[in-house]
């Protein structure tokens, strides 16, 4: 019989039976949509790592505490949108000894996990990982070094090349879901943080859009793009 997550947490952490009972009562009365592990973390009774390790024990998965940017290959993520991975807490990566692995924050979401495995098209080991670690891994991949390849990818993307000034806003919102726009906006947000910029200016002109950072009170032009990208870029902010 699979042990309950609460029982594992009481046995493996400093969580008391009284604290667990109190959290279960709150869950039933006030937050039935939340899982008990999430609620206990929000209450400060345990850590996210505690929940991850307990889930790993419950499901019989290995637990991974860290995922490096070097282990996340482009070929693993090129067909998987970052919003999807972030929403479901999933990240494919390569382990040195085990090969291809899939880090998951929620092992109960088996349908989504299986769909990602099918999309990857290769056998992989499932491992448990804290959601914050998965999100950090995604950020390392998409923001790594400001992702300088984003501008090149943007300029060669046929969907964007065909955008005209008459394109409807709804179409641009759909367009903004594509990886080039996402990676571009992620890149200049990351660069702004690295530069300690106090403001980011996205300035539309007749034929171009300028990205400018305010650093120590002075505005610097960071990048320039064709005017038709403006609405799609702003929709990501």
Q: pLDDT class for 96, splitting at 50, 70, 90?
A: low
Two tokens, residue 109: 């979401």
Mean pLDDT of the chain: 77
Q: Are residues 83 and 138 in the same domain?
A: yes
Whole-number pLDDT of residue 11: 95
Give 48-79 pLDDT, tens digit per residue. Answer: 999 999 999 999 999 998 887 778 866 677 66
Round to whole Å and give the CA distance between 17 and 9.
9
CB 99 within 8 A of CB 86: no
Q: Are residues 104 and 128 in the same domain?
A: yes
CATH number at residue 190: 3.30.450.90
Whole-number pLDDT of residue 174: 46
Give 145-154 pLDDT, tens digit per residue. Answer: 434 444 444 4
Residues pairing with 214 in the sheet: 199, 219
H or E segment to which residue 212 belongs: strand 208-215
The answer on pLDDT for 168 being more than 90 is: no
Whole-number pLDDT of residue 229: 75
Round to whole Å and give the CA distance between 69 and 72.
5
| Pairing state between β 99-104 and 125-128 | parallel
Q: Are residues 29 and 95 in the same domain?
A: no
Domain that holds residue 93: 69-143
List phi, psi (to 5°) of 104.
-130, 140
| Position 81 in a domain | yes
Two tokens, residue 177: 């879901």
| Position 123 in a domain | yes
Residues pairing with 226 in the sheet: 208
Instruction: Name every residue whose Cβ is closer than 8 Å to that of residue 139 and which is 6 or more positions away in sequence.
Output: none
Q: Are residues 15 and 73 in the same domain?
A: no
| Position 113 in a domain | yes
Nearest to 13 by CA among 5, 24, 21: 5
Q: Are residues 138 and 73 in the same domain?
A: yes
| Position 150 in a domain | no
Whole-number pLDDT of residue 6: 94
């Amino acid at each position: 019989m699979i042990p309950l997550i609460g029982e594992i947490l009481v046995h493996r952490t400093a969580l008391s039976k009284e604290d667990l009972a109190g959290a279960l009562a709150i869950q039933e009365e006030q937050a039935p949509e939340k899982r008990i592990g999430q609620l206990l973390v929000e209450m400060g009774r345990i850590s996210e790592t505690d929940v991850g390790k307990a889930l790993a024990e419950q499901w019989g998965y290995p637990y991974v505490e860290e995922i490096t940017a070097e282990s996340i290959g482009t070929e693993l993520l090129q067909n998987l949108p970052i919003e999807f991975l972030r929403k479901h807490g999933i990240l494919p990566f390569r382990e040195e000894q085990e090969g291809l692995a899939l880090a998951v924050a929620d092992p109960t979401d088996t349908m989504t996990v299986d769909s990602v495995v099918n999309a990857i098209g290769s056998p992989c080991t499932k491992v448990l990982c804290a959601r914050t670690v998965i999100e950090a891994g995604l950020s390392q991949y998409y923001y790594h070094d400001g992702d300088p390849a984003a501008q090149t990818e943007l300029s060669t993307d046929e969907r964007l090349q065909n955008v005209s000034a008459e394109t409807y806003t709804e179409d641009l919102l759909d367009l903004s879901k594509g990886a080039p726009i996402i990676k571009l906006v992620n890149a200049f947000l990351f660069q702004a943080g690295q530069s300690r910029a106090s403001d980011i200016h996205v300035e539309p002109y007749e034929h171009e859009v300028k990205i400018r950072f305010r650093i120590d009170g002075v505005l610097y032009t960071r990048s320039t793009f064709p005017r038709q990208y403006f609405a799609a870029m702003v929709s990501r902010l």
